[in-house]
Amino acid sequence: MNAPQVRGGDAPVQAAQPAAPVRRAFAVVLVVTVVVAFVSGVSPATLLLGAVLFGAAVIRLLLPAARIPSLVVRSRFADAAVLAVLGVGIAVLGQIAPGA
């Protein structure tokens, strides 16, 4: 199969590597989080979700972009900072929410 041609003589665009393992892992974590929410309550589920997002921030900092295409949106530091803030925020808000 030929690579698509780009006007102006630029190099051909290469298809992104499949991100199926990363997507599957996050889908499994979301299902586990929902199950934990039903079984143990919202508080442990928010801790789990916050820890997963914070873990994703660490993964984004350590692995090259080619290995984790689903986590790459902006620069490495910006992606990691957003994921870390979301992770800590979800965990903290889940703990201080009334009735959690």
pLDDT in tens, 31-79: 999 999 899 988 899 999 999 999 888 888 887 777 666 667 778 888 8
Q: Which residues contact 16 (CB under 8 A, 6 or more apart)?
A: 69
Task: Show the tokens assigned to 85.
Answer: 């803030």
Q: Would you state the pLDDT for residue 57?
A: 87
The domain ranges of the chain are 20-96
Q: How far is residue 6's CA from residue 11's CA, in Å, rounded to a whole number?
A: 7
pTM of the model: 0.69
d(CA 58, CA 62): 6
On the question of pLDDT at 17 being above 60, the answer is no
- Predicted local distance difference test score (pLDDT) of residue 50: 93
Q: What is the pLDDT of residues 69-78, one digit of tens each?
A: 666 777 888 8
